[in-house]
Every structure is written in C-alpha cells, then in structure tokens.
Amino acid sequence: MRFSGLRVIKEALTGHKGWTPAWRDPEPQAHYDIIIIGGGGHGLATAYYLAKEFKQKRIAVLEKGWIGGGNVGRNTTIIRSNYLLDGNEPFYEMSLKLWEGLEQDFNFNAMVSQRGILNLIHSDAQRDAFIRRGNAMRLNGVDAEMLTTAQIKERYPYLNTEDARFPIKGGLAQHRGGTVRHDAVAWGYARGADSRGVDIIQNCEVTGFKIENGKCLGVETSRGFIGATKVGCAVAGSSSRLMAHANMRLPIESHVLQAFVSEGLKPVMPGVVTFGAGHFYCSQSDKGGLVFGGDIDGYNTYAQRGNLPVVEDVCEGGMAIFPAFGRARLLRMWGGIMDMSMDGSPIIDKTHIDGLYFNGGWCYGGFKATPASGMCFAHLLARDAPHPNATAYRFDRFEKGLMIDEKGMGNQPNLH
C-alpha cells in the first residue's frame, strides 16, 4: 500500500475503510539468514537497507518491547553533520544526505525539516575552534557558515547576546541541519522493511546467544530459540547488558540524557540553537512545544529518568540566552539511556565471535545517524566488510590508539 495525496483524498471520500496495518505481526520462524536484535531506528533501518539495497532474504528484527518504544522515541529529533574529524564527518554527511531523500525512498512522511542548526560562540578561542570545524566540514563538501551576532539577531531577535559570562559573539551555522519526526522514522523503516519481507517480531526479548566453537548459531528469546546465520546487535543504551550474554565487556558506560518539552507556543524558534558552553540546546516542534535539553546526568544508570541538578542546569542555560522562555511552562520531561563510549564515537564492527556483529556506542548522537548507521551496518552484515564511510568505527581502535575523540576528553565517558 503506497501513500499518496490521491490515496488520502480517495480514503477521505470512502470513509477511511481502505487503510491496512502498516506492518504484519508474524510468528518467529525457526531460522533466519540474518537476525537484527533491537527494533529501534538503527535496527529497523538496518533491516530495511539489507532487504532493499543489499537484496538479502529471510531477515528478522527482534524487539523486546514495541518498535520505536526505545531511544528513537526518546530523543530531541535533531539532524546535522557538523563534525570535525575525518573518521566521523563523511559518515554523518552520508546520513544527512540519506535524510534528505528518505521520505521519497521509503514513501512515508517523516517530516524532515531542514530548518538549520546554529552553534553559538562566546570567545575568540571558541571562534577559532568553530572556524576550524566549519573549514573541516567544507573540506568534506558539507555546508557551513560563520554568522555574525547581527546576522543571528535577525533570526533570533529575542536572543540575549549581552550575557555577562557568555556574551554571544557569533555562531557556526549548518543550514541543512534540522529536525525530523522521530516516531515516523521508526514507522517508515518498519513499514518499508516489512513490505520487503522482513519479519518484525515484537515482544520478543533476547535472553542469550547460542555460541559453539566460536560461532554464533542463534539467539535464545522469550519466545524460544531462533537460529540464524548472522546476528546483528543494535540496542544502543542496553549494549553492555546484551553483549554480557556473549561474555563481552564493552568500552561503554550507560548514562541518562534528559529532554524537556514546553507547552505549545506560536512559532518562535525558526531553527535549532545550541549553547554548548551553557549546556543547553533548543528547537521548536511542529506542534509548538519548545524541545530542549543539555548535558547527560553523568553517572552510570539504566533508569530512564534523571535527577534535579541537571534539570536546574539546563533551565539556567536556557534562561541565560532565551530569558523570554522563562514564561513558558514545562509540559513533560523524560530520560533516555545512552551508550556512552570511551571516545564519544560509535562502533559498527564484527565481534571476535563468528557470525555476531555489533552496532552501538552512539552516545547522545544516535538519532541523526540512523540512516547511515542502518546502511553501514547492513553493508557489514551483507558483505562482511565495513562500509567505506564507517571504517574507523572499529572495536580495536581503543587498544591501537586510533580513537575518534571529537572533544578531546579521553576515556572518561561522562565528559563526551
């Protein structure tokens, strides 16, 4: 069933009786060629590209809850590719390009909105660092523009540029960045994968791996054993818990990142603004709510809720640059669990166990990476070789000293 304007009109005139479920609810089969663990954005995107781009058959996605019920539904929906390092920038730019064509590709309205992202600067040193970042982006063929305070004021006239501690001296803009309707990403990929024969099996928790002679033969689940030639894990946030079943310890700590939404307001924020020095970023959803957040709480946790000191810190940051937002009331807040890796960058790699593949360590940047993560993980699973844009995301980079440390913080996950 393809969606189109004509179809919407036809259904409107005939009582909406022709719509069918967007995906099936199949029983698990005894064996698959490829099993993806995790029915979030990355897992569903992987299955979609495996079926569509790599022509793989007999694929299943196993999800312990319902699809889109994890981090793909708990983020702040921002897409961008404003990275500095060579190991990252081509990957994230590939992701942004895939976002740009995604809705046509999977015939689903994901409300991709390239409203632009702006990183604020407050000092000469920060201006130098951001000019360097912008130049690195442009060397990779990505759009980047340094804006003056006056140019920023044109778009955000209510922005407080005169804060005594963090006066705003300009900003680095990526006009192709923006936001996406996050749930629709999961639904669009699920529908696209399902229509190409992928079994999406919900309420099916993986409780162990069957590993014999160094080879993974399948997974134990809450719905029985399911055999597989290859198993790909895409459960960022719970990676350490899952991989512990394969006796693996990961270069990852789990941390909580909080997010907040205000009551609905008339359009006030034209794009995404990040105030990194003050631990605050904000955009406005199409429903009108101000969507904002800040830093991770900073301690290991699997509780999908944070604590009050970070709430205070985020709101202080917001009030410093957008004093007017103090009049808006907070509607809801939540926490999502992040795979915080030791260098702030992800892992898409084979494990030492034959037939077992891993995708995780996305820190708080997993949402924007969803399409490229799916494409690169599908490439790895189908061809047993890393995608050219994901060659740096290896497990062994920590032992070999090949870290991709955008912030230069070292092996302290809560500082990335």
Partner 1 sequence: MIIDHPLLGPRDSAEFTYKGDARLIDRPDPEKGATAHDFYDYGYLRDNPAGWHEELWFHEAGDRSWLVVTRNTLTHEISKVELARDVARSRGRSK
CB of 136 to partner 1, least distance (A): 26
CB of 415 to partner 1, least distance (A): 10
Do residues 376 and 387 lie in contact, with contact meaning Cβ atoms separated by under 8 Å?
Answer: yes
Do residues 79 and 92 lie in contact, with contact meaning Cβ atoms separated by under 8 Å?
Answer: no
Kindly determine how many residues on this chain lie close enough to bind partner 1 according to the rule CB under 8 A. Answer: 25
List the beta strands (DSSP E) in 49-116.
59-62, 78-79
**Residue 218 phi, psi dihedral angles, 5° rounding:** 155, -170
Binding mask 108-147 for partner 1 (x = CB under 8 A): ----------------------------------------
CB of 183 to partner 1, least distance (A): 26
Do residues 117 and 92 lie in contact, with contact meaning Cβ atoms separated by under 8 Å?
Answer: no
d(Cα 170, Cα 273) in Å, to the nearest integer? 12
By CB neighbour count within 10 A (0-12 exposed, 13-18 middle, 19+ buried), where does 222 fall? Answer: exposed
- By beta-carbon proximity to partner 1, the closer residue of 342 and 378 is 342
> Which is nearest to 214 in space by CA: 312, 399, 356?
356
- By beta-carbon proximity to partner 1, the closer residue of 174 and 240 is 240
Do residues 237 and 336 lie in contact, with contact meaning Cβ atoms separated by under 8 Å?
Answer: yes
- Residue 405 engages partner 1 in binding (rule: CB under 8 A): no
- Residue 207 engages partner 1 in binding (rule: CB under 8 A): no
- By beta-carbon proximity to partner 1, the closer residue of 49 and 395 is 395
CB of 60 to partner 1, least distance (A): 25
Question: Which secondary-structure segment (H or E) carries 106?
Answer: helix 89-106
Binding mask 340-359 for partner 1 (x = CB under 8 A): --x-----------------
d(Cα 142, Cα 163) in Å, to the nearest integer? 31
- By beta-carbon proximity to partner 1, the closer residue of 338 and 369 is 338
- Residue 409 engages partner 1 in binding (rule: CB under 8 A): no
Interface residue with partner 1, options 71, 88, 240, 284 (CB under 8 A): 240
Interface residue with partner 1, options 27, 162, 212, 399 (CB under 8 A): 399
Binding segment for partner 1 among 314-322, 362-370, 374-382, 407-415 (CB under 8 A)? Answer: 407-415
* DSSP-assigned states of every residue in 178-207: EE--HHHHHHHHHHHHHHTT-EEE-S--EE
Residues 301-320 within binding reach of partner 1 (CB under 8 A) = 301-303, 307, 309
Binding mask 245-264 for partner 1 (x = CB under 8 A): ----xxxxxx----------
CB of 362 to partner 1, least distance (A): 15
- Give the list of residues 6+ apart from residue 2 with CB closer than 8 angstroms, or none: 107
Token digits of residue 109 = 């309205």
Token digits of residue 304 = 């999908």
d(Cα 403, Cα 65) in Å, to the nearest integer? 34
Binding segment for partner 1 among 121-129, 138-146, 160-168, 241-249 (CB under 8 A)? Answer: 241-249
> Which is nearest to 264 in space by CA: 316, 328, 325?
328
- Give the list of residues 6+ apart from residue 71 with CB closer than 8 angstroms, or none: 40, 41, 236, 237, 336, 337, 338, 366, 367
Asked whether the CA dihedral 68, 48, 178, 131 is positive or negative, the reply is positive
Binding mask 270-299 for partner 1 (x = CB under 8 A): ----------------------------xx
CB of 389 to partner 1, least distance (A): 24
- By beta-carbon proximity to partner 1, the closer residue of 229 and 307 is 307
Token digits of residue 39 = 């029915």
- By beta-carbon proximity to partner 1, the closer residue of 254 and 262 is 254
CB of 222 to partner 1, least distance (A): 17
- By beta-carbon proximity to partner 1, the closer residue of 28 and 69 is 69
d(Cα 225, Cα 242) in Å, to the nearest integer? 16
Token digits of residue 237 = 């946030």
State the residues that interact with partner 1 by CB under 8 A: 238, 240-241, 244, 249-254, 298-303, 307, 309, 342, 398-399, 411-414
